[in-house]
Structure 1
Amino acid sequence: MTTYEYGYARVSTTAQDLKRQLDWLESQGVPVERTYADKRTGTDFEREGLASVLAQLRSGDVLYVASLDRLGRTMHKVLALIAELREKGVHLVIGGAMTIDTRVGGPATDMALLMLGTFSEMELIFQRERRASARASREASGKSWGRPREIDRAAVLADLSDGMSVMKVAAKYGIGRATVFRIKSEAKGK
């Protein structure tokens, strides 16, 4: 029976780059045509690339992943996925600082998978806490959160022409001085 090597890479957003992971997969000898990737959050297990690679895997095949958190960020779902792969007879090779190869097997491999899954989920929890803390801090200081609102450029220009200082205009509209200067400069350019 012929066995194949597959690769899977994932980043959380479309702005992030897969290059480091794809380079690692290539260095492991995974053919480009058997490499699958997603640009979706790791908490979402309904990913097109992941579904495609899972559909291809057969007993004896090997799935390469640059790090365990690339499979997912929710420990119980990652562990369930690993169990599913084992039941199919698929081997998993996880790169990173502590390479894990389930072809070796044994209790040390099982423990390493559990530890990496735990640390991956802990990091996700810590990231959420940091974001919530930053959001609360900004809101407490009266600063806005999220996408900037539209600026009434005509009102800014009117206040400037009435003699209001750049500092006061910036404070009034909750924008930076550089933004006020840019609005002023763009108006002169027209």
Structure 2
Amino acid sequence: MAVIGYQRVSTNAQDAQLQNDALTAAGCSKIYEDKASGKNAERPGLLSALDYLREGDTLCVWKLDRLGRSTRDVLTIAEDLHARGIALRILTGTLAGNYSPKGEGKFFFTVMAAFAELERDMIVERTRAGLEAAKAQGRTGGRPSVITEDVLTVAKARKAKGESITAIAKALGVSRATLYRHLG
């Protein structure tokens, strides 16, 4: 009977060390990881963990929303685990403990899975509203352009003299693709 961990962060910029430490402390002999949104069905780490698990094993997650952000997906995963004789253990949050798909346990689990999905939807809504507000104020997201008006003027002058794009890009310290994009 193995205890297998699953950890997930939504982006490559996030760190899963907190989850990893908790899963290791919980006795997980193997930990699978994904760096993808919980709404994303393409989570190879989760699929590998589910494939690895056998009857009598336990799937351990740091928090319910790490398993997924879609109520349907979380419930499907939990029901599948139960049908296969695999326990689901949640380390933190309101549902900390072992999941039981019976009576009040199932009801509470379903409600908490719905809250996880609601939270994801609210994050998306707030992000979209923030981007729209910034756009209305004339601000755009993303990295600042390395091509200023001065750099573009120099690049155009060098190109007019017959210098190659590769040489210009190297001299100005920008990529060829960036230079091509700005020169048209």
TM-score, length of structure 1 as denominator length: 0.74
Which consecutive unaligned segments of at least 5 residues does structure 1 have? 159-190
Same amino acid, percent of matched pairs:
34
Report the equivalent of 2:53. Answer: 57
Question: Deviation at 1:150?
Answer: 3.9
Match status 1:24 vs 2:22 = yes
Question: Deviation at 1:97?
Answer: 2.7
Q: Distance in 2 between matches of 1:50 and 1:121?
A: 18
Q: Distance in 1 between matches of 2:5 and 2:25?
A: 11
Q: Is the contact made by 1:100 and 1:109 (CA closer than 8 Å) also made in structure 2?
A: no
Q: Is the contact made by 2:60 and 2:89 (CA closer than 8 Å) also made in structure 1?
A: yes
Q: Output aligned runs, 1:22-171, within 5 Å.
A: 22-31=20-29, 34-98=30-94, 99-102=96-99, 106-152=102-148, 154=150
Report the equivalent of 1:183. Answer: none
Aligned residues: 153
Q: Distance in 2 between matches of 1:49 and 1:25?
A: 15
Q: Distance in 2 between matches of 1:90 and 1:45?
A: 21
Q: Is the contact made by 1:100 and 1:112 (CA closer than 8 Å) also made in structure 2?
A: no
Question: Deviation at 1:148?
Answer: 2.9
Q: Distance in 2 between matches of 1:145 and 1:93?
A: 39
Question: Deviation at 1:131?
Answer: 0.7
Q: Distance in 1 between matches of 2:9 and 2:151?
A: 42
Question: Deviation at 1:154?
Answer: 1.7
* CA shift in 2, pair 1:25/1:155, >3 Å: closer
> 2:111 corresponds to which letter in structure 1?
M
